[in-house]
Chain A
Amino acid sequence: MEQEKVTVTVNGLRYERLVEPRRLLCDFIRQDLGLPGTHVGCEHGVCGMCTVLVNGQTARSCLMFAVQADGASITTVEGVGTPSKMHPLQQAFWEKHGLQCGFCTPAMLVTALELLNHNPTPSRDEIREAISSNLCRCTGYQTIVDSVEHAATLMRGGV
């Protein structure tokens, strides 16, 4: 099978790989780069679980081919923070019970990151609008809205 060269920067690290053109970006990230934090649900754009930042903007990694990301800079949940150095969003999801099973959490964090990068003081409605692109079968969303709201406060230096 014909292979294409892809060079991407993921969470600040540069990777070079050969891929089949049909390789989806989500599978490339999870399997070829060994970063399983990005989840896969529906594979047709509906559930939002595979959301990553491509050049700072949210995108469905199940609706992009890895070859298309050649030259791009990608952020996955692994690049948001680490257990010893959590991002305020992660801190807030922890404190406000923004997760139960955790399946939707990587996508929720990345989606909230884009929102807070554009809008440091979102209203609850704006938070709802942003996370409406992702499904969560556990929390009922209220605690996720609480978490993002709290993260915004933390990021402005509040408690």
Chain B
Amino acid sequence: MKPAPFSYVRPMTVEEALFALAQQGDEAKVLAGGQSLIAMMNLRLLKPRCLVDINRVAALDYIRQDNGTLAIGALTRQSAAETSPLVLQHCPLMTEAIQYIAHRPIRNRGTVGGNLAHADPTSELPAVAVATDATFVVRSANGQRTILAADFFVGHLTTALRPDELLTEVRVPPWRPAGQGWSFMEVSPRKGDYALVGVAATLQVKDGACQAARLVYNGVAGRAQRVPEAERALVGRNADEAAFREAASIASQRVDPHSDFHATAAYRRDLVNTLTRRALAQALARCGKRSA
């Protein structure tokens, strides 16, 4: 099918984009990489009256580092983040996760900000954002606010963004490589497909003991889901197979995944168990190393 008619605005600056969004209200949609939006318009699942195409807003396309905080402009292409030495250095979890997003032609166009704003529950980057306590810088004609990743994702394809707001930047707090390990793992029907289940894991280990852990899953709920009970089961314990098994078992009991024609809920639950064990083992092996 073909998209329904719309009017087209192509701002060159953030201010022009915010002005257009303020004028159009909820009739307008931001067009970033188009890799989700145009697909939905072609299927006529969405019929926005106006598209505000931010692809020429060069000021939103950057990857910077500021005192260890990684700042990624919303328009940064997924393929640029995937190959960025700065992202690898300051958030290797993201580098690893991006490789599971679709295929190269889609990552060449799809943006980091668009992926997060789209908030697909099976998507990898929201899980990374929650696992790393990322913050989102959001602007409208009325001003700017900052939203914590945990508050940004509300539910299936739903975020805290208001229709007149533009996501401009994702900020990932400083990564402490000493004693910190990470792993992103996922199972999908075929390579590049949306995930059945994925896990973003980080682990902080000192003298063999777990000091902190993060376990965040994509594909098991309406949004990226953190499982604090499983994390708590690790803290203070020796970082070993027995602890990882227990955390994995708790996580698989705490999640409440759905069944669909790709997989049953029971299979997804089983994947949570297996992927958690494997991811924690890999995170442990990487503790204290900068990147894989």
Contacts and interface: CB of A to CB of B under 8 A. Distances in A.
Interface string A48-79: 10010000011110111101100000000000
A143 B190 CA distance: 20
Nearest to B105: A58
Contact of B103 (A20, A22, A43, A48): A48
Contact of B105 (A4, A22, A27, A111): A111
A21 B108 contact: no
A68 B35 contact: no
Interface stretch (B36-44, B141-149, B256-264): B36-44
A1 B5 contact: yes
A7 interface: no
Interface of A is mostly: mixed
Contacts of B35: 45, 60, 63
A130 B104 contact: yes
B270 interface: no
Contacts of A43: 1-2, 42
Contact of A44 (B6, B7, B42, B190): B42
B176 interface: no
A2 B7 contact: yes
A18 to B, nearest CB: 13
A114 to B, nearest CB: 8
A60 B105 contact: yes
A50 to B, nearest CB: 10
Contact of A58 (B8, B10, B108, B191): B108
A133 interface: yes
A133 B105 contact: yes
Interface in B245-288: none
A80 interface: no
A133 B191 CA distance: 9
Interface in B1-40: 1-8, 10, 34-35, 38-39
A149 to B, nearest CB: 18
B192 interface: yes
Given A60-B35, A65-B38, A130-B104, A21 B6 contact: yes
A65 B41 CA distance: 11
Contacts of B133: none
Interface string A15-28: 00000111010010
Contacts of A1: 5
Given A21-B8, A21-B51, A59 B42 contact: no
B43 A132 contact: no
Given A24-B42, A63-B38, A51 B105 contact: yes
A101 to B, nearest CB: 21
A27 B3 CA distance: 12
A59 B108 contact: yes
Contacts of A48: 103, 105
Interface of A: 1-2, 4, 20-22, 24, 27, 43-45, 48, 51, 57-60, 62-65, 67-68, 111, 114, 129-130, 132-133
7 contacts: A20-B5, A21-B7, A44-B39, A45-B39, A60-B109, A65-B38, A132-B103
Given A63-B109, A111-B105, 16 more contacts: A21-B5, A21-B6, A24-B3, A24-B38, A27-B2, A43-B2, A44-B42, A59-B109, A62-B38, A62-B42, A65-B34, A68-B34, A129-B191, A132-B191, A133-B102, A133-B104
Interface of B: 1-8, 10, 34-35, 38-39, 41-43, 51, 53, 55, 79, 102-106, 108-109, 190-192
